[in-house]
Structure 1
Amino acid sequence: MNSLVVFESQFGNTEQVAQAIARGLRERGRAQVVAVDEAPAALADDLDLLVIGGPTHAFAMSRPDSRAAALSDGADATETGEREWLRTLPSPLPVPRVVTFSTRQGHSFLTGSAAKSAAKALRSHESVAAEVVDFFVAGKHGPLEEGELVRATEWGRHLVEA
């Protein structure tokens, strides 16, 4: 299985999750991890799985203004986020399987989810997210809640088996 994990990370938590997912994927295949601002505009023809993840900002994927606010709060914000990168992809997506993940504070559905927002954005590419998963941070800057990196690695293993 050939996988590409594309992530957006402001405080490093989402990147940690992306790397953990890739560890699980690599147990039975290949997985490349790429920051969204370095992600390819054209997806490889031999790609079996695309994993897209980012932090939840204001109930959804980040926007330029939410990244600017994170930057003023000490984040390593990028100019391009997963929202903008998704817009550059072709329709339909040339990948048989796509999944989304996000990091977010709080376990309530009221906090929103960048993963759900990304899954919704995939519909404009005539694609449906096969799975949507949230990973949890203890605070705005993190750290990740206990056990989340283990859960991310296990999810990566699951994605290969599914």
Structure 2
Amino acid sequence: MSIQIVVESLFGNSDAVAAAIADGARATGASVGVTPVAAAPPELGPEVGLLVLGGPTHAFSMTRPSTRAEAHGKYGAPGQAEPGIREWIDRAVPRPDLPVVTFDTRVQVKLVPGSAAKSAASSLRHHGFGRAHRGKTFFVLGVEGPLAEGEAERARAWGAELAALDQPAGAPAD
């Protein structure tokens, strides 16, 4: 199975999760590509058997131009300001048969709703990716990170699980 990971990252935390997912999948023998969202083509070739799409949660959802601008202005986020996964989904050419699993990174705060992974999965289905599922949330310590203890290992293990599946049936549907 060829896995393509498309990731948006402002502080490097989502990049670290994507790299760990890729490491875990590669450990099973899977072919994995990791692409920053700004360089991701809108159309994925037939060789891609699974798309993993992830990024940070901002204001209870996927980032928007205003939340990315705030991250750059207020916190000096070193990551790319444009585009985000929201914009990539809007321009992506849908493949209804392609399994897609989403992930997000966020600060762990009790009783705070919202998830970029949930929003992305819903948006992907709305845009014609019929097999899109919400995957996992990975936690960071504070707005800028780093990843919370054990999260990179959890991402690695999840990557191995994803590579071992014929399809991402283990991911909860929204």
Partner in structure 2 of residue 84 of structure 1? 87
Unaligned runs of 5+ in 2: 166-174
Counterpart CA distance in 1 for 2:82 and 2:126 is 22
Percent identity (aligned): 47
SS of corresponding position for 1:110: coil
Aligned to 2:52: 51
Equivalent position to 2:147, from 136, 144, 149: 144
For residues 102 and 85 of structure 1, the distance between their equivalents in structure 2, rounded to whole angstroms, comes to 15
**Counterpart mapping for 1:100-139 below 5 A:** 100-126=102-128, 127-139=130-142
Alpha-carbon distance in 1 for matches of 2:134, 2:61: 17
- Cα separation, 1, equivalents of 2:20 and 2:161: 13
Relative to 1, partners in 2 of residues 1:48 and 1:40: Cα closer, same or farther, differing over 3 Å? same
Post-superposition Cα deviations, 1:46-78, rounded to whole Å, max 9, x if no partner, equal 110000000000000000000000111210232
Q: Is the 8 A contact 1:48 1:95 kept in 2?
A: no
RMSD: 1.4
How many pairs align?
A: 161
Q: Where does residue 98 of structure 1 map in the other structure?
A: 100
Moved over 6 A (4+): none
The structural deviation recorded for 1:112 is: 1.6
How far did 1:107 drift? 4.9
Is residue 74 from structure 1 mapped to residue 87 from structure 2 by the alignment?
Answer: no
How far has the Cα of 1:108 moved from its partner? Answer: 3.2
Do the aligned residues in 1 keep the contact of 2:8 with 2:14 (CA within 8 Å)?
yes
User: For residues 58 and 131 of structure 1, do their structure 2 counterparts lie closer, same or farther at Cα, with a shift above 3 Å needed?
Assistant: closer
What pairs up with 1:21-40 in 2 under 5 angstroms? 21-27=21-27, 28-40=29-41
CA contact (8 A) 2:97 2:131 kept: no
TM-score by length of 1: 0.94
